[in-house]
Amino acid sequence: MVSSLRTHLHAHYPPPWFSVAPMMEWTDNHYRTLARLISKNAWLYTEMLAAETIVYQKDNLDRFLEYSPEQHPIVLQIGGNNLENLAKATELAEPYKYDEINFNCGCPSPRVAGHGCFGARLMLDPKFVAEAMSVIAAHTDAPVSVKCRIGVDDHDSYNELCDFIYKVSSQSPTRHFIIHSRKALLNGISPAENRSIPPLKYKYFYGLLRDFPDLRFTINGGINTVDEVNAARRAGAHGVMVGRAAFQKPWHTLGHVDTAIYGAPSSGVTRRQILEKFQVYGDSAVGKYGRKPTVRDVARPLLGLFHSEPGNGVWKRKADAAFLHCTTMKSFFEETLVAIPDHVLDSPIGEPSSGGEDPFANIHTLLPPAYESREQELLYA
């Protein structure tokens, strides 16, 4: 049974002012369960799922697509380069009622971009991306979106980025683009280096806001704190997507989202309360598919929960030891949480740190020249 079916399609969720980036092997069900226990408003994304995986696992879909109703609002990210499989995958995912379907045109991993024109390499073929988005939209009732970079290799001018946005948006129902504000280098550097070596060009993102006022844009890349999220939004971003900071420091990042970004009153929730609820989830998840997932798999997202707190180092060492023999989350917590002082476990989130430099303070003085579309040439290219 699909546990995540909604009773109605158009549920009212907060706007996607803050979202957690799709990260392969990181934003799985276990992480998303933790994230939702910390923040009620953040938009969550799945790991990227290849369309082929969904199609070939059609008799085992819950393992890949199931999630709890509490995870709404949640976005499914899919990848692929075969229109038939994209159509089938979207159709198979439809009963799970994700709140948006996102198409990956930004991943620079050789496992993705180098495998049959997939991921970031698709930015070089906007006509195909438009076709793919039309196919995806035709097989779902959910909105659709594209996640991309600002360019690929030497195809990195602002005009080329605008050409991509123009062509995809004018030839498909796509009205939301998540822009990672670095280009992708597809040869010679690793995915990790692709997150740091190509320079951030936020001016390209804000140029898109000016030149495509009828579209929605979410900014991604190099943004790690709620202060920076709010600064990006003050500068005009419709939404902000945060990646590794939300995984590596979930308490200090997600813990401020509801209050500092969405203006909600503090819930007063503590890490002890979160872990009590996570234990119930974890013990129902361990071994659900035979030997998988293990306690290590389920507990992995917790390893940043006490970042920079007293006892964090001892907690991680105890966790490494416990992974070798613990078979339940209950026994894992009994063995490890003794390392964390009570005042850490029982204190609600404090005030967010502030006073950092605003990376968007003067962004509107740095914008590239306005885009002039080559409409006829682009439509028929």
Token pair listed for 213: 């006022």
Q: Is 147 annotated as a binding residue?
A: yes
**Residue 201: count of CB within 10 angstroms of its CB:** 21
**Residue 259: count of CB within 10 angstroms of its CB:** 18
What tens digit of pLDDT does each residue of 56-104 get?
999 999 999 999 999 999 999 999 999 999 999 999 999 999 999 999 9
The answer to whether the CB of 217 falls within 8 A of the CB of 177 is yes
Q: Where are the domains of the chain?
A: 18-262, 271-346
Q: For domain 18-262, which CATH number applies: 1.10.30.50, 3.40.50.1820, 3.50.50.60, 3.20.20.70?
A: 3.20.20.70
Active site residue 117: no
User: Which pLDDT does position 5 carry in this prediction?
Assistant: 41
Token pair listed for 88: 């089938």
Q: Is 220 annotated as a binding residue?
A: yes
Q: Is 222 annotated as a binding residue?
A: yes
Q: Is 36 annotated as a binding residue?
A: no
Q: Which residue ranges in the chain fall short of pLDDT 70? A: 1-11, 109-118, 188-189, 192, 195-196, 374-381
Among 107, 148, 162, 326, the one annotated catalytic: 107
Q: Is 24 annotated as a binding residue?
A: yes
Distances, alpha carbon 336 to alpha carbons 1, 77, 237, 291, 303, in Å: 35, 34, 41, 22, 11
